[in-house]
Structure 1
Amino acid sequence: NDGDVRTIGQVDGPSAAWMVHPGAIYLHEAQIYIVDQLDLEGKIAHLRGISADYYTEPRSETTVSLIDKLGEKDARGCTIAHGEIQVTTLVVGYRKIRWYTNETIGLGELSLPPTELQTTGYWIGLDEDTVKQLDAEGLWTNNSNDYGPLWPLLRQKVRDRDAYRCQLCGAAEVGRAHDVHHKIPFRSFPSREEANQLSNLVTLCPRCHHQVETAVRIRSGLAGVSFVFNNLAPLYLMSDSRDIGVHSDPQSPLTGGTPAVVIYDSAPGGIGFSEQLFEIHSTLIKAARDLIASCECSDGCPSCVGPGGENGMGGKRETLALLDLLV
């Protein structure tokens, strides 16, 4: 600011896309900065000091593909393995989140190149019977929503009722039809007929719809396991939480398209964490189950499976049911 150009910090290359992307809020020595420009080739981010009542959270998409499987064995309710993998991460946007209230006040879109990491990982692939049992008990929330055969008619009726305008920002439909959103999440209802009541449906433009969906999080059992693993694994590895990454995928390439959770080394090439976790699989599963069961929260919190978000569902019951089948 005011011609004062100086270096205030450094970040590693792979972290630049999510820490100092354009529009990101960067905190340094109690000063708030906003990133105006990120020059990946020149390896420099240009920031300026501002006064802001929000912080930013990147939105990314991650895919994990197999390079070489080094070990595999059957375990209760699943198959576990470890090996060499490639983790590809693409930061696609970010949320602006107000301090203190944690409400989402804006969204930003980004166009950045993906980052690739060749490393080692340990993963758990769920058996078909495990998924079927959870699904039969209504405790598997990773399947796509089935809104029923009348959904196209209901969607048209809601858009017509709302005069084809977004009920949050007032934007009219131009080219693309607006979305129809469930005010109370679809998965919260015992039947689609109850979920699809007209009083529970509202017309939203794509931007507002994405913002609302981001705030209303329904954490699945698979995501809950990922969250608790991210907190527990470093304790057994005697490492920093930043030394590992955790990713869940209902259709993982690592397992031929079946649900899986993978824990991988953050260091290129890996430093041996994945094989250690492979060897203590049973201990890790039991510890995760015991931690969640002993937590006094009702439906998820940062100490166990993670919070559900604004008006969301934490997934504690789903996560416990999944781990019960793996212990």
Structure 2
Amino acid sequence: MEYTHLGETGLEVSRLCLGCMNFGSGEPWMINDREQSRAVIQRALDLGITFFDTANVYSQGESEEILGEALAESDRVRSELAVATKVYGPMHDGPNGQGLSRKHIFEQADASLERLGLDYIDLYQIHRWDDETPIAETLSALDTLVEEGKVRYVGASTMPAWKFAKALYEADLNNRERFVSMQCEYNLVDRHEEANVLPLCADQGIGVLPWSPLAGGFLTGKYERDADLEEGRAASDEFMEKRFTEENWDVLEGVRDLADAKDVTPAQLSLAWLLHKDLVDAPIVGPRTIDHLEENVGALEVDLTDEELERLEAPKTPVWNAEIGDV
């Protein structure tokens, strides 16, 4: 395993982050087996992965519980691990059940710590922007969590660049804890963030943690251009359907050709493309099996030339759609 620093901080993280959204029973496509989930986490630890990302809203806290159980069972030293979770999504019906108010953040930070079985969260992230809460209130609450020792660093996820810039400015102006990382959708077929938040991250020294680095499985090569997509997640998920365009099929064709030439899998090549991006600290991989996890880790051994990187990127021109950032 390789390691790097998160953004401009001193926090060392593995070059791959294990995403934990699949751990739980919230959706049919999730693992739905705690023992299997813990086995994947344990294998990740054995492979040197020390960076884990979850969220309170994943299966309504079940993902955090599973991660906490697995880490408690492991023999890894806590100081070596970087555990990240998120706040924003709905956790209960009625008033104050979601968002980034001071009340909700404080309650959910404590709840996440209890589910994780930890004394502190390494990276606490706002899952989305909250238009109903002033960013000054949100930053004040996060700042307090850091001062109390419950949180070490704060990060953000999925928003238009102008909103993220507003948050960074507010933090600088009022001496609040500054966001050190940005989680954003980023992969070979979803490159819209190159026209949105990534230039800001480069300018401000923000670490980038791409989610959906394999485009929901599209870049693994498991789908065929002319196949009938009547089964599985692709048949029912509008988020997946957007990827089945002629332009994206052209990208996948290039991935497959180069992967064959290098004797690696399309998934490994696609992850290697991200790992070659200077801005990217750690793609968030979400394997459902140990075999998939081991395949993902193999991406660290794939070298790409500048010409190969350009060839993979050639079919697409990144364009920012404002609707994407507000999902």
| TM-score higher than 0.5 | no
More strand per residue:
1
TM-score, length basis structure 2: 0.30
Structure label with greater radius of gyration = 1
Higher RCO, 1 or 2 (CA under 8 Å, sep at least 6)?
A: 2
